[in-house]
Structure 1
C-alpha cells in the first residue's frame, strides 16, 4: 500500500526561513551590491576625481617646507589644526592635509611651491566616503549598520538554506544544478537560473559578507568583547567600527593635538610646560618619514600627549602591505611595526578586508568581486520572479515544498553555530521562531496568509 510522501515539518521550516530571509534581504542585496560594486573601483574613481592635483610642481621652482604647507592648509579652514599630513605619492603632486576642528575633518590640497590651496572638501563629504557610509550604514549611523548587519547575516542563512534545498538528491543529474536548462520553459529556466547562480556564487558571496562584518558596529563590538575575554585584544584595530566610533577617534585626536599646541598643560592643578610640535619638528619629521619606505598613501599624525611621538602610518588599500612607525621631534625612529607583527586575528581580518575591497590582487580581485556581486543581483532578481510566478492566490506565503526530506542535524548545527557567531542573527532568529509558534494561535488568518502552519 503506497502512501503519499510526508513533508517533514523541518523541511517546511527551512523553506520558510529561505523564503522570508529572501523577502527581507533582496532589497539589501541589491543596495549592497550596487554600492559595493562602485566602491570596488575606488582607486580608479579617485584617480580621475583628483587628477587636477597631480603633477602640479614646476621643475624650476623651490618647494615649501612642510611647516609652511601646514600653515597654508590650516589657514584655509579657520579654527583647524593639523590632524594628518599625507605624503605625496609623487613629489610633483599637491600635498594633502587632513585638518580638523573637533570631529570635523577637511581634506586640503596645497600646492607645494606656492602654498596655494587648490581644493578643499569635508572628508566625510568626499564621494567615496559617502559611498562607503551608504554601503555600510545607509547613512543612518549605528541603526543603519544594525540593519545591514542583520541583512548580511540572514543572507548567509539564505545561501546555506538554498544550497540545502536545491542540492541534488536521489541520483539527480547535474543539469539544473551546475548548469541551467535553457530550453525547458520559463518555469524551469528561472528555477535553474536561481539555483545554478546560487551554487556558483555561494562560496564567494559568503566570504564577502563575512569579511564585511568587522565593519558592522554591533559585530565589531562583539569581536572586541570576545578578544578582551580571551586575552587577544589589540591596542588598536586597523578598520572602522562605524561612523560614530570614527567621529570619536577624530575628536580625541583633535583634542590631543590642540593640547600639544598650547604652551601649558595642567595635570591635577600642577602646571607643566612642554614643547609644542614646532615648525622645526615638522621639517625634520616629514622628510624622515618619507625615507621609511611605507606603502603609500602614508599619513603622519602629530603627538597628542606630552613626550608623545609622531605616527607615520601606511593606509595602503592592500592591508597586508601596511605598517607604521613612531618618530620623535628630530625625526629619529623610535619604533616600527609591520603587518606580520600584528596578532593573527588582526592579520586574518586584514586579508579579509583587502579581498573584500578588491585590493589584494589588484584588477583581478576587483573583477572577481564584481562577478560575485552580479551573481548576487541575479540571485535576488530571479528569486523575486520565482516568487511572483508561484505565489499562492491572495497570500504572501511560501511556495509549496517540492520534495520530502528528513531532519538534518547538520543544518541545525550550522544554524546554532551561526547564531553564536552572529548575535544579531541569533536574536532575530529567536524572534522569528517565537512568531512562528505564536502567530497561528493568536492570529490564524494572518498566519495562513503568511504561510505559517502549526
Structure 2
C-alpha cells in the first residue's frame, strides 16, 4: 500500500469519525435539553435525602436519651404510643439502633401514618412525627415522581434513560483521539479561559462520574413503573414458591408505609405467607406470649441486634415479620439483610430468608440501592454528597457551554449541525432501536425525536434555522 493510499485512507477515517462525532454531539445536546432539569432536581433532592439517611434520621434530626438500667416491655411502650391516637392501629415497632436513642412505633391513624418516639426506659412518648410529611418523605416523593404520581414517574423514567444516552455519547465525544491524551481527558485544565475552561471541567468531571452515575441511574430506574415494575423487578424478585407456607394475595410491598420504599427491592413483589396453617419450624417457645414481647425475645434469640423491625399482623391471616435490612436504614452491610415471618397463632417461623436467598439481580440491587441511598456508612454518605454536587456542576457547566456557544443575538436553539451523511441517520435508528429494547419508555421518546429530526427539523428551512 502506497503512502498516498494510506494518507487517503487516514483522511477518510478522520472524516467518518468527524461525522460520527457530529451525530453524537447532536444527540448529546438533544438528550441534555430534556435531562438537565431533571438531573438537577435529582441531585438537589438526593442531597436532601442523603443528609437524613447518612447524617441524621429519616424522621428528622437525631433524638438522644439517657440510658438507664431497666428497659420497659415493648408492649408497654406500644401502649404509650397508641395512647396518643386511641382510634389508630399499630403497624410496626422499630427497635432502637443504640442505647441512647428512642424506639419508634408506626401507627396508622386514618389516612395519616404517624411515627411515635418512645423512651424505652420509661415508656414515655418523646415526639410524634407525621411520617409522610417529613422533609425526607417530601424529597423522596419529588425524587421519584415529582408529586405527580404515574405521570411524574414516567417523566423521570424518560430522563433516566436519556441520561444513559448522555453518558454514552459524552464518553464518545471526549474520548482521547487525534493526538489527545488521557491526561487531558481526566485532568481539568484550570488555566483555560472561557468556554474552553468549562468544556475541560465538564468533560473531566463527566469522565470520572460516568460509571457511578450510570449505576445510580440504573438503580433509580429499577423503581420506575415500566422498566422497573414491569420488566426488571419481576425477574429479580424472590420466588415465594420456595417456601412451604401458604401465600397471601398481599405482597411484601404492603409492609411499606407512608408511600416510602422500605422493603428490600427483591422482596417487594413477593407474596407474604399467611397465618393459620400447621407448617413452620419452632419459633416463639411454648408458654411465651405471641405478641410484641414474645416476638422481641424471638428476634434476640435469632440474632437480631440494634435497629430492626417487628411488623404487626394487620388482619386475621397476617403474620408477624421480623426484618433488618439496608433498605430501611437498619444495617450498613447488605449481605446481612434478613426477613423472618412468624405465624400469629402458633408462633412458628414460616419463612427465614436473607441475602444469600436473593436472586443474583436482587443481590446486585441490594448493594446498588444501599450505595445509591448512602446507607453503607459515613463514607457512602459523603460519596453521595460529592456525586450530587458533581451532577449539579455537570448540568450547570453544560448550560454555560451552550450559552457561550450559541449565536449571539440570534433567536436560535443552537443545536449542533446534522452530519451530511444519510448512513449516519440509519446508524442512529439502530442505536435508538437498541435503546428502545433496553429502556422502552426512553427509547420510544428517542425514536420519536429521531423521526422528528429527520422528517421536519432537518428538512423544513425555518425549523432547521431555528434549531441550528
User: Which of the five TM-score ranges fits, normalised by the shorter chain?
Assistant: 0.7 to 0.9
1:213 corresponds to which residue?
Answer: 221
Matches within 5 A, 1:245-394: 281-294=291-304, 296-304=306-314, 306=316, 308-316=318-326, 317=329, 318=332, 319-329=334-344, 333-360=349-376, 362-392=377-407, 393-394=410-411
TM-score (norm 2): 0.77
Give the superposed CA RMSD.
Answer: 3.9
Looking at structure 2, the residues matched to 431 and 127 of structure 1 have their Cα atoms a distance apart, in angstroms, of 37
1:77 corresponds to which residue?
Answer: 85
Q: Contact conserved, 1:215 with 1:241, CA < 8 A, in 2?
A: no
Looking at structure 2, the residues matched to 218 and 76 of structure 1 have their Cα atoms a distance apart, in angstroms, of 40
Looking at structure 2, the residues matched to 75 and 34 of structure 1 have their Cα atoms a distance apart, in angstroms, of 38
Q: Does 1:157 align with 2:174?
A: no
Q: Contact conserved, 2:372 with 2:384, CA < 8 A, in 1?
A: yes
Looking at structure 1, the residues matched to 354 and 337 of structure 2 have their Cα atoms a distance apart, in angstroms, of 7
Which residue, 65, 87, 96 being the options, matches 2:95? 87
1:109 corresponds to which residue?
Answer: 117
Looking at structure 1, the residues matched to 83 and 339 of structure 2 have their Cα atoms a distance apart, in angstroms, of 28
Q: Does 1:438 align with 2:455?
A: yes
Q: Does 1:145 align with 2:156?
A: no
Displacement, 1:11? Answer: 4.6
Structure 1 residue ranges, 4+ long, deviating more than 6 angstroms after superposition:
1-9, 237-247, 401-406, 408-413
Displacement, 1:158? Answer: 1.0
Displacement, 1:306? Answer: 4.2
Looking at structure 2, the residues matched to 295 and 48 of structure 1 have their Cα atoms a distance apart, in angstroms, of 21
Q: Contact conserved, 1:298 with 1:313, CA < 8 A, in 2?
A: yes
2:441 corresponds to which residue?
Answer: 424
Q: Contact conserved, 2:457 with 2:467, CA < 8 A, in 1?
A: no
Q: Contact conserved, 1:325 with 1:336, CA < 8 A, in 2?
A: yes
Structure 1 unaligned segments of length 5 or more: list them. Answer: 248-259, 266-277
Displacement, 1:313? Answer: 0.9
176-185 or 127-136, which deviates more: 176-185
TM-score (norm 1): 0.79
C-alpha spacing 1:142/1:339, structure 2 compared with 1 (3 Å): same
Displacement, 1:170? Answer: 2.5
Looking at structure 1, the residues matched to 313 and 307 of structure 2 have their Cα atoms a distance apart, in angstroms, of 20
Looking at structure 2, the residues matched to 240 and 72 of structure 1 have their Cα atoms a distance apart, in angstroms, of 22
Which residue, 8, 23, 33 being the options, matches 1:23? 33
Cα distance per residue 1:310-334 (max 9 Å; x no partner): 1101143343321011234575544
Q: Does 1:44 align with 2:55?
A: yes
C-alpha spacing 1:441/1:342, structure 2 compared with 1 (3 Å): closer
Structure 2 unaligned segments of length 5 or more: list them. Answer: 241-250, 263-274, 277-287
